[in-house]
Chains A and B, each alone.
Chain A
Amino acid sequence: DVVMTQSPLSLPVTLGQPASISCTSSQSLVTSDGNTYLTWFQQRPGQSPRRLIYKVSNRDSGVPDRFSGSGSGTDFTLRISRVEAEDVGVYYCMQGTYWPRTFGQGTKLEIK
Chain B
Amino acid sequence: EVQLLESGGGLVQPGGSLRLSCAASGFTFNKQAMTWARQAPGKGLEWVSSLRGSGDTYYADSVKGRFTISRDNSKNMMFLQMNSLKTEDTAIYYCVKGMTIPDSWGQGTLVTVSS
Contacts and interface: CB of A to CB of B under 8 A. Distances in A.
Given A48-B107, A100-B47, 5 more contacts: A48-B105, A51-B102, A96-B99, A104-B44, A105-B44
A49 B44 contact: no
A49 B108 CA distance: 10
Contact of B101 (A48, A54, A92, A104): A54
A83 to B, nearest CB: 21
Interface in B41-71: 44-47, 50, 58-61
Interface of B: 35, 44-47, 50, 58-61, 94, 99-108
Interface string A75-106: 00000000000000010101011011111111
Interface residues of A, number: 24
22 contacts: A37-B100, A37-B101, A39-B101, A43-B45, A48-B106, A48-B107, A49-B94, A51-B103, A51-B104, A60-B103, A90-B44, A94-B47, A94-B102, A96-B99, A96-B100, A96-B102, A99-B58, A100-B58, A100-B59, A100-B60, A101-B35, A103-B46
A55 interface: yes
